[in-house]
Homo-oligomer: A and B are copies of this chain.
Amino acid sequence: MSAIRLLVLGAVRQHGRAHGYQVRNDLEYWGAHEWSNAKPGSIYHALKQMAKQGLLHAHEIAPSTAGGPPRTEYEVTQKGTEAYFALLRESLTAHDQKMDVLSAAIGFIVDLPRAEAVELLRMRVRGIEEWRASVTEYYTPKEGPESLGHIGEIMNLWVSSADYGAEWTRDLIRRIEGGAYTFAGEGEPFVGVLAEGEENPYATGEPHKGDTL
């Protein structure tokens, strides 16, 4: 599963109502083009697909206020909200190894209550540990690790970066339990969208050397 649905649902949800270009801009504001496959085509596709599946409701809008083709505005439905939270929870717990999914989920983690966030992250750590145990046991050859030759480096890479992911998650749990950030039901939420007309300080003006993700 890719991160795009979660990102798009989350973005539309924060706006209440949004068209494709707004979503695209928010994601860029969050730096999502750096760490996910949130390209225009994917965003518009996800919007249409989710509208077809009843997760979003599409409002046809007259030609735009500021040039360009007619827009469609979307709103998250009840079903869409449920799908959003299901996706969010799954993305936090699954030790997918796919960092874009985790990144997106971290971006929306404050939509959950603090206690649940911690609980889900603990499940993530447990999942990683189990995966590690199962994989190292399963792939350890009888004739000693040398028999794998350089292929063993691949295992090494995956296992050690899973370890690193677990460590990072534990640190994050510590920060959250230490009171960092503002979670659901704790007053004024953090606002991660651009207001109408507000300038995006992180826009891709200069294509910013090193952007090839």
Residues of A whose CB lies within 8 Å of any CB of B are 30-31, 34-35, 94, 96-97, 99, 102-103, 106-107, 109-110, 127, 130-131, 134-135, 138-139, 141, 149-151, 153-155, 157-158, 160-161, 164-165, 168, 172, 180-182, 190, 192, 201-202, 208-210, 212-213
Contact = CB atoms under 8 A, between A and B. Distances in A.
Contacts of A30: 151, 154
23 contacts: A31-B139, A31-B154, A34-B135, A35-B97, A94-B212, A96-B212, A97-B213, A99-B157, A99-B161, A103-B154, A103-B158, A106-B150, A107-B151, A107-B154, A109-B150, A110-B149, A127-B210, A134-B210, A135-B210, A141-B201, A150-B190, A161-B168, A164-B164
Copies of this protein, total: 2
A212 B130 CA distance: 12
A102 B164 CA distance: 17
A131 B164 contact: no
